[in-house]
Structure 1
Amino acid sequence: MTPLSLPDEVRQSGQSYLQLTDEAVPGLVKGLYLHGSLAYGDFRPGRSDIDFLAVLSERPSGKAVDALREVFAELRSRHPRPYFDGLHVTHADLAGSPYDCPDVPCVQEWDFRPAGHFGRNPVTWHELAERAVTVRGPRLTADDVWRDRTALRTYSHANLDEYWKPKLDELRAGQEWVHDGPAGRGEWVTEWFVLGVARLHHLLATDRLTSKTGAGHHALTAFGERRQPIVHEALRIREGAAASAYEGEPIARLRDTIEFAATAIEEGRRLGP
Structure 2
Amino acid sequence: MPSPSLPPEVRRSAGAYLEAADRAAPGLVEGLYLHGSLTYGDYRPGRSDIDFVAVLSGRPAGHVVQRLGEALAELGRHHPRPYFDGLHVTRADLTGPPADCPDVPCIGEWEFQPVGRFGVNPVTWHELARGAITLRGPRLGPGDVWADETALRAYSHGNLRDYWRPALAKLRAGEGTVAAGPTERAQGLTEWFVLGVARLHHLLATGRLTSKGGAGRHALTAFDTEWRPIVNEALRIRNGAGTSAPGYDTDPAARVRDTIAFVEMAIEAGLRLGP
- The Cα of 1:186 is off from its aligned counterpart by 1.2
C-alpha separation in 1, matches of 2:181 and 2:161: 30
Q: Which runs of 5+ in 1 are unaligned?
A: none
| SS at structure 2 position matched to 1:241 | coil
Query: Are 1:60 and 2:60 counterparts?
Result: yes
Q: Identify which of 251, 267, 270 aligns with 2:269.
A: 267
- Deviation readout 1:29-75 (Å, 9 max, x if unpaired): 11000111111111111111111000000000112111101101111
- The Cα of 1:224 is off from its aligned counterpart by 1.5
| SS at structure 2 position matched to 1:27 | coil
Q: Which amino acid aligns with 1:61?
A: A
- Deviation readout 1:226-267 (Å, 9 max, x if unpaired): 111110110011010113212121111111111110110000
Aligned to 2:23: 23
Q: Calculate the aligned-residue CA RMSD, in Å.
A: 1.1
- Deviation readout 1:118-160 (Å, 9 max, x if unpaired): 0000000000100211111111112100000000000000000
Aligned to 2:189: 189
> Which region of structure 1 is more displaced relative to structure 2, 243-252 or 128-137?
243-252
Structure-2-length-normalised TM-score: 0.97
Aligned to 1:173: 173
Q: Give the percent of matched residue pairs that are identical in Structure 1 and Structure 2.
A: 67
Aligned to 1:76: 76
Q: Which amino acid aligns with 2:103?
A: D
Contact kept in structure 2, 1:198 and 1:215, CA below 8 Å: yes
C-alpha separation in 1, matches of 2:23 and 2:183: 38
Contact kept in structure 2, 1:3 and 1:133, CA below 8 Å: no
Aligned to 2:159: 159
Contact kept in structure 2, 1:180 and 1:187, CA below 8 Å: no
| SS at structure 2 position matched to 1:4 | coil
1:1-273 to structure 2, matched below 5 A, reads 3-179=3-179, 181-182=181-182, 184-245=184-245, 246-273=248-275
- The Cα of 1:268 is off from its aligned counterpart by 0.2
Q: How many residues align?
A: 272
In 2 relative to 1, CA 133–271 (structure 1 residues): closer, same or farther, beyond 3 Å? same
C-alpha separation in 1, matches of 2:63 and 2:259: 47
Q: Which runs of 5+ in 2 are unaligned?
A: none
